[in-house]
Amino acid sequence: MSGIIDAYERDFAKHPDISEFPKISMIWKSIPSQLARENKKFIYKVVKEGARAREYEDALQWLTDARLVHKIYRSTACGLPIAAYDDLSAFKICLVDVGLLRRLAQLAPTAFGEGNRLFTEFKGALTENFVLQTLITQFEVIPRYWSQNNPPYEVDFLIQRENDIFPVEVKSEINTASRSVKKFKELFPDQVRHRLIGLALKQRFYR
């Protein structure tokens, strides 16, 4: 897996415009830090202090177009088509493969058996990345996520399947209760017909 990471990073220097290479590399290396945050919204200043969207958005788009990362937009409401409710200023970034994320974060495969002793928030990020990797191959429309502040709620993914929207909450623990999915259902009772809880198995991370 480390050889694959090295190959990707060498490609950053060969295929895009040479002026974009440093920015692409910095975004790529910042992904573990982005996902280690409680709020996994992508923040440009995590890439570089003082960085602004207009300086790095082309580099991020190159990674998206190369299918190395998925950009998951925040949805402002539960409506169809789901893309009509994108908040274009708020999005999360996930890697195309959870094994790449594990290696980019320099975690040994055995770390997943340690539970909360080693990490808590990042374990959730790995679980989300694994679930997205599975969902994105099954649905034509790229999933979104939903959140609100004061009080804080966040549904990890919204899936559009034909004319239905399914909220999906990802759990890396045995407890599958979700106050955020319950709140989402309360806010959009007529649009949400089903609620899903996703529980990713930790052994699937061993690669």
- Predicted confidence at residue 202, as pLDDT, reads 42
- Residue 138's pLDDT is 92
The amino acid present at 69, given as its one-letter code, is V
Cβ burial, residue 195 (10 Å; 0-12/13-18/19+): middle
Rounded mean pLDDT, 21-45: 92
Rounded to a whole number, what is the distance in angstroms from the first to the last CA of the chain?
8
Q: What average pLDDT does range 61-68 have in this prediction?
A: 94
Asked whether 130 and 94 are in contact (CB, 8 A), the reply is: no
Residue 199 structural domain: 2-205
Give the range among 59-63, 102-106, 191-195, 197-201 with minimum mean pLDDT: 197-201
What angle do helix axes 121-135 and 21-35 make, rounded to 10 degrees? 110
What's the pLDDT at 82? Answer: 96
What integer pLDDT is reported at residue 56 of this predicted model? 97
Lowest mean pLDDT among 6-10, 62-66, 158-162: 6-10
The pLDDT of residue 171 is 77
When divided into structural domains, the chain yields a total of 1
More confident residue, 51 or 206: 51
pLDDT tens figures, 95-140: 999 889 988 998 887 766 666 666 666 888 888 998 999 999 999 9
Alpha-carbon span 169 to 176, nearest angstrom = 8
What's the rounded mean pLDDT across residues 50-54?
A: 94
pLDDT value, residue 8: 82
Over residues 69-87, the mean pLDDT reads 96
Output the average pLDDT for the chain. Answer: 86
Percent of the chain with pLDDT over 90: 56
Candidate from 14-18, 55-59, 86-90, 156-160 with smallest mean pLDDT: 14-18
The reported pLDDT for the residue numbered 71 is 97
Query: Residue 207: what pLDDT?
Result: 39
Contacts 24+ apart (CB under 8 A), 157-165: 157/72, 157/128, 157/131, 157/132, 157/198, 158/75, 158/78, 158/82, 159/135, 159/196, 160/80, 160/81, 160/82, 163/80, 164/193, 164/194, 165/78, 165/79, 165/80, 165/82, 165/191, 165/192
Question: Can you give the pLDDT at residue 147?
Answer: 95
